[in-house]
């Protein structure tokens, strides 16, 4: 708004959404039961979101093809959006039909279990207005890889790995390092949960009230001055 419309930054309040309190890491017993119930492997990379071009799934699938030797599956959870056909075509072209799993749309009650069960959560979206799946994954202690574009760096802070959206080799290299154990995942998981705690509805509601109060005060002052 400052860059495009020339609005004074002092007139802009930024209020982030919060995250539901029940979005937290499941315990090991719950995760084990969930994997068994869904027929999931012990190690899998998770993507969660609509299957459409903006989400950059084609890049994720190509990058996954370079790290599948780790014995890890790619699970792409979400409903079909617009122009989804290219995603399935790439899977066929790379002969990944047995390695890339599409469970479809899932109920919100299962979200925390999916995030908790994955080896890492990858969200290479080209553009996001906010990026709630990334925040939910952090809250569940998942190791997150996401894009360094739009709002996503604001959401993850220093608690995730950032990559250029369309760079297949960079994404593959980042995932490979994580799967090879080159990073302290326990420490990263704790940082992820800590980052997610910055986004809560109590803070959001308080800031919203403050914004309305400031706006009403300006209106009143303008009225009295005129």
Residue 8 and residue 83: Cα distance in Å, rounded?
39
In a domain, 220, yes or no: no
Q: What is the pLDDT of residues 126-175, one digit of tens each?
A: 999 999 999 999 999 999 999 999 999 999 999 999 999 999 999 999 99
Instruction: For residue 217, name the pLDDT band (cuts at 50, 70, 90).
Output: confident
What is d(CA 8, CA 195) in angstroms, rounded to the nearest whole number?
A: 29
Q: Quick check: is 45 in a domain?
A: yes
Domain that holds residue 32: 22-200
- Per the DSSP assignment, residues forming a β-bridge with 75 are 46, 101
Q: Is residue 136 situated within a structural domain?
A: yes
- CATH of residue 81's domain is 3.40.50.2000
SS3 142: coil
| Position 152 in a domain | yes
Does any domain span residue 171? yes
The pTM assigned to this predicted structure is 0.91
Number of structural domains found in the chain:
1
The set of residues, in sequence order, having a beta carbon less than 8 Å from that of 109 and lying 6+ positions away, is none
Distance CA 188, CA 22 (A): 21
Give the residue from 37, 35, 33, 30 showing the smallest Cα distance to 46: 35
Instruction: Judge whether 215 lies within some domain.
Output: no
- The size of the chain, in residues, is 226
Q: Is the pLDDT of residue 46 over 70?
A: yes
Q: Is residue 218 part of a domain?
A: no
Whether the pLDDT of residue 53 is over 90: the answer is no
Token pair belonging to 74: 């790619």
| 145 assigned to some structural domain | yes
10-35 pLDDT, tens digit each: 989 999 999 998 899 999 999 999 99
């Amino acid at each position: 708004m400052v860059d495009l419309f020339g609005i004074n930054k002092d007139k802009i309040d930024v209020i982030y959404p919060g995250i539901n309190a029940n979005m937290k890491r499941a315990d090991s017993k719950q995760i084990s039961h969930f994997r068994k119930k869904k027929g999931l492997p012990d190690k899998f990379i998770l993507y969660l979101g609509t299957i459409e071009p903006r989400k950059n799934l084609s890049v994720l699938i190509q990058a996954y093809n370079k790290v599948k030797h780790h014995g890890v599956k790619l699970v792409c959870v979400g409903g079909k959006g617009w122009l989804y056909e290219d995603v399935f075509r790439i899977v066929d072209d790379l002969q990944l039909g047995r390695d890339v799993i599409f469970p479809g749309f899932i109920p919100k009650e299962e979200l925390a279990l999916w995030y908790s069960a994955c080896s890492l959560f990858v969200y290479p979206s080209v553009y996001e207005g906010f990026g709630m799946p990334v925040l939910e994954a952090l809250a569940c202690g998942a190791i997150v890889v996401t894009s360094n574009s739009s709002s996503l760096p604001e959401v993850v802070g220093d608690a995730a790995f950032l990559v250029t959206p369309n760079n297949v080799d960079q994404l593959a290299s980042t995932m490979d390092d994580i799967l090879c154990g080159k990073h302290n995942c326990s420490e990263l998981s704790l940082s992820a949960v800590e980052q997610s705690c910055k986004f809560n509805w109590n803070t959001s509601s308080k800031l919203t009230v403050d914004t309305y109060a400031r706006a009403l005060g300006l209106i009143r002052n303008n009225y009295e001055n005129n």
